[in-house]
Structure 1
Amino acid sequence: MDSLTWVIFDIMGTIAFAVSGAMVAIQRRMDIFGIIVLAALTAVGGGMVRDVLAGITPPMALCNVTDFMLSIIIALLVSMAYSFWPYPPLNKNFMLWLYNMFDTVGLASFTITGMLTGLSREAGNPYVMPVLLGVITAVGGGILRDLMAHRMPAVLYKEIYATAALFGAVVSCSLQNYVDVVTMAWICFVLVILLRFSALHFGWHLFHPRADWHKRR
């Protein structure tokens, strides 16, 4: 595993998910402690689950405080920016776009760190562990964030989300014998970003079964 590439995407994902977690906490009217908890949980939750599944114990987030400290700093900065912004409240559509942007960058970045962690284990099928760890790392923190905020996890019902991580990880893993690790990581990043933003822009969704069956009974 290319350690520098892993660290770069880990920092990118931590910052992006800490911002999205802090924004959700502010929207749910949490205090500063709640904002920090939600930001940190979003930023490191998926990675901790990934490490346990990969047999890395204790999880890296508990051995190196960088991600925790970075998420706390981001939570404080977002809180201060929200509290002391000198201009009229920002448009809700812009805030939603800002949230989706950070959430998507976090999704793509953590797909890569999970995938690279799986590839470094060199155990079993060359696709199963990297792909699953990529998806779990990408969506795990967001699921914990939404549960703590008393929201249905977005991954279960909203636009193409986990599917974007799954697609990026599968395609990238299929190229592992043809390109170097850095190229594979950036291909994954671009694929996840493009698919996720395309889904947001064009309103793409996965198949939803009709939910009005009970009305016809």
Structure 2
Amino acid sequence: MSVFEIIGSIAFAISGSMLAIKKEMDLFGILILGIVTSVGGGAIRDIVIGNTPPAMFQNPKCTVISSITAVVVFIIWKIHNRHTVTEKIARRTDIMYHNLLFLSDTLGLAAFTILGMETTIRFLNTDQFLLIAFVGLITGVGGGILRDLLAGEIPYVLQKHIYATACIFSIIGYYILYHFIPENAAALIGFCLVLVIRYLAKHFEWNLPR
């Protein structure tokens, strides 16, 4: 497994689990949302590039990691909630929830966007920008879209801060740098681009026009 797979699997599993907890789902619901968020984008990617059955079935390590992460999040949240007895602590918990959701979603988005592009280039041995960009984007946002639809929410990618736009900047940066510097360096820079753009968008409250 690559570092991006591990980071993305854990981060998106946390993201899905946190939303399931907010929606007051049971442990099974938390598991489903954690797993779907973690491996959903990769499954869509594999179907698009013809890598079937998807990697989540060929090599279920990501599924196992996301399942364990979801259970750990559930246990931690239950333990923490036992001590949430005052309004002040409740407000602090809500702030912590939103910050953790933002962080995990951003890390998962960055990791799987890069992973989607790397997988497409290797599996199809292609240099077609539109194909690489599309698969990278759908790998990054696909799991989150499935998560939000299952939870009855408008997909985060369609309304919050700069989300898919951060992916697009990362994709362009990675694709250009990929031809001039080592692949690992290009991937790391692309990964960091998503983090920086998402943080700046949150800090300065950037949003696309409505």
Task: Compute the TM-score of the two structures, normalised by the length of structure 1.
Answer: 0.90
For structure 2, which runs of at least 5 residues remain unmatched after alignment? 85-89
Q: Is 1:57 equivalent to 2:52 in the alignment? A: yes
Q: Is 1:156 equivalent to 2:169 in the alignment? A: no
Pick one of 18, 40, 48 that aligns with 1:45: 40
Partner amino acid, structure 2, of 1:206 = L
Report the Cα distance in structure 1 between the residues aligned to 2:126 and 2:181, rounded to whole angstroms: 20
SS in structure 2 of the partner of residue 91 of structure 1: helix
C-alpha deviation, 1:131, in angstroms: 1.2
Partner amino acid, structure 2, of 1:57 = T
C-alpha deviation, 1:113, in angstroms: 0.4
Q: Is 1:122 equivalent to 2:125 in the alignment? A: yes
Q: Higher helix fraction: Structure 1 or Structure 2?
A: 2
- Check the 8 A contact 1:117/1:130 in 2, yes or no: no
Pick one of 20, 25, 41 that aligns with 2:20: 25
Equivalent pairs counted in the alignment come to: 202
Q: RMSD of the TM alignment (CA)?
A: 1.2
- Check the 8 A contact 1:111/1:165 in 2, yes or no: yes
Partner amino acid, structure 2, of 1:99 = L
For structure 1, which runs of at least 5 residues remain unmatched after alignment? 209-217
SS in structure 1 of the partner of residue 178 of structure 2: coil
Pick one of 177, 180, 200 that aligns with 2:202: 200
Please list the CA deviations of residues 130-183 of structure 1 after superposition, one character each: whole Å capped at 9, or x if unmatched. Answer: 211111000000000000000000111111101101110111101111111100
**Among the aligned pairs, what percent are the same residue?**
40
C-alpha deviation, 1:22, in angstroms: 0.2
1:212 counterpart residue number? none
SS in structure 2 of the partner of residue 175 of structure 1: helix
Report the Cα distance in structure 2 between the residues aligned to 1:54 and 1:137, rounded to whole angstroms: 11
- 1:4-19 maps to which residues of 2 (within 5 A)? 7-19=2-14
1:173 counterpart residue number? 175
1:139 counterpart residue number? 141
Task: Compute the TM-score of the two structures, normalised by the length of structure 2.
Answer: 0.93
Stretches of 4+ aligned residues off by more than 4 angstroms: none
Please list the CA deviations of residues 14-62 of structure 1 after superposition, one character each: whole Å capped at 9, or x if unmatched. Answer: 0000000000000000000000000000000000000110110111111
